[in-house]
Chains A and B, each alone.
Chain A
Amino acid sequence: MALLSKKDTSLILDPLSDNNPITIQVLGICSALAITAELKASIVMSISVLFVMGMGNVVISLMRNIIPSKIRIIVQLVVVATLVIIVDQVLKAFAYELSKTLSVFVGLIITNCIIMGRFEAFALANGTWRSFLDGIGNAAGYGVILIIIGFFRELLGSGTLLGYKVLGDPIAKTGLYAIGYENNGFMLLSPMALIVVGLIIWVQRSRNKDLIEEN
């Protein structure tokens, strides 16, 4: 890849595993709890964050030399809020039904700490192209975790994936339900998202011991 130097590649790939925003940096937990009861919402949220994060990092990086340091947090907030409103309006105009299911959650992107975290930690100090890659990488790392959690919560909680009944029909007792399987309603509640995140962290750290923090 001529377009991406070694450093650039690591900007994209690191957040996917060894520097994941959710499991390692522990950012963005709140939205990971709120919206992952269904796989579809997780996917759409990931795409929206990908857009807001990529664009936001570019805008902040372009302005990094002219932003007054006294109000830099406010400037960052304004940039995120603007991008989020644009996403919201575009969804309302072109994907109305989707925007209805996401209603509250699109607004939640503003409060997503990953975005502010990356603005502050990376985009303010780095060039535009790198900031873009960093934004995309971190949003993807966030998205991967979101989709994993959404997958398990929807599968175990509702017995469906993207709305399709993959385990059979719980009312008509077909498929797995015929042999006595039951959906675990617990999976639909937010605390279970935290437990799933915990399991992911466990798996990740036992595979790569370097990630274990020293006390």
Chain B
Amino acid sequence: MAFDTEKNSYTVIFAAIMVVIVGSLLAFMASSLSDRISENERLEKQQNILYAMGVNENGDDEGSVNFVSTSTVAGEFNKYITEQLIIEGEEVTKDENAYLIDLKKEETRAKAGEVRRLPLFIGEKDGQKYYIIPMRGKGLWDAIWGFMSLDENMVVQGVFFDHAGETPGLGANINQRYFMDDFIGESVLSGSRYVGVAVTKGNNDPTNERKDDNAVDALAGSTITGDGVTAMIRETLKLYKPYLETIRVKN
């Protein structure tokens, strides 16, 4: 052995060299794969948005979430999503890349006192219009996010939720059909107030028969994730309320 591996100086030098090698290897990996990864994430976003308005390949399958396939999603997205809007305060502009807006960055901008850009997508299927609202909130461990599509009566037409790291088997099940499908048909209005749809325990409606109670049955064992979903919907609606008031059918 040429080196004395017991010496302190050797240990320090070894550690330093190792860190440099490993660091550059990982940096190289990350930058060479980042294009592919962000393309995958972009397609996923399109799949999620379409899923929320009911464009998916669920068919007769009652159990699992089946997105439009990644190879066709770009075309389907252009076909069904007719308008993409950015709402900045009073101002509403069209922008066909609104779906790429990072909600987390907008949150930071709002905190810094700037006007927040709120993306909203209008989809059309079989003559019906869907207003799809993206949302982002906090679960138990990490971020949760989703898309909710509404019609002109402010009735939920579909939702899609996902999470970064909720507990597998418990909170992670917010992206399962048996949870998401319950939202369909619920109204986010109570009278003329935007109350959202709450995830509640013990609303005596486990099969979700009542569609007028602004509530769906919670997942067992995931109180905090469920509360996170409730809060996410409520807070998001607060932001979108001025715009939603302009499209709501009043009767």
Contacts and interface: CB of A to CB of B under 8 A. Distances in A.
A2 to B, nearest CB: 33
B14 A90 contact: no
Contacts of A103: 165
A171 B62 contact: yes
A69 B26 contact: no
Interface in B151-173: 165, 168-169
Interface in B1-56: 1, 3, 5-6, 10-11, 14-15, 18-19, 22, 25-26, 29-30, 33, 36-37, 40, 44
Contacts, number: 58
Given A66-B14, A104-B168, A82 B22 contact: yes
Contact of B37 (A89, A163, A188): A89
Interface in A130-154: none
B18 A104 contact: no
Given A65-B1, A69-B6, A37 B169 contact: yes
Contacts of A1: none
A82 B36 contact: no
Contacts of B62: 171
Given A34-B168, A66-B5, A82-B22, A92 B40 contact: yes
A71 B15 contact: yes
B14 A67 contact: yes
Contacts of A75: 14, 18
B36 A71 contact: no
Nearest to A107: B165
Interface residues of B, number: 26
Contact of A69 (B1, B5, B29): B5
A85 interface: yes
A92 B14 contact: no
Contacts of A85: 26, 29
Contacts of A37: 169
Nearest to A65: B1
A93 B40 contact: yes
Nearest to B41: A96
B5 A89 contact: no
Given A89-B29, A89-B37, A92-B33, A67 B165 contact: no
B1 A68 contact: no
A104 B26 contact: no
A188 B169 contact: yes
Interface string A181-198: 000000011000000000
Given A68-B11, A69-B5, A70-B11, A90 B26 contact: no
A78 interface: yes
Given A71-B15, A75-B18, A103-B165, A93 B10 contact: no
A96 B71 CA distance: 13
Contact of A104 (B14, B36, B165): B165
7 contacts: A37-B169, A66-B3, A66-B5, A78-B18, A78-B22, A92-B40, A94-B36
Interface of B: 1, 3, 5-6, 10-11, 14-15, 18-19, 22, 25-26, 29-30, 33, 36-37, 40, 44, 62, 64, 70, 165, 168-169
Given A37-B169, A70-B11, A78-B19, 13 more contacts: A66-B14, A67-B5, A70-B6, A71-B15, A82-B25, A85-B26, A92-B37, A93-B33, A93-B36, A93-B37, A103-B165, A171-B62, A189-B169
Top 3 closest pairs, chain A to chain B, by CB:
A96-B40, A93-B36, A68-B11
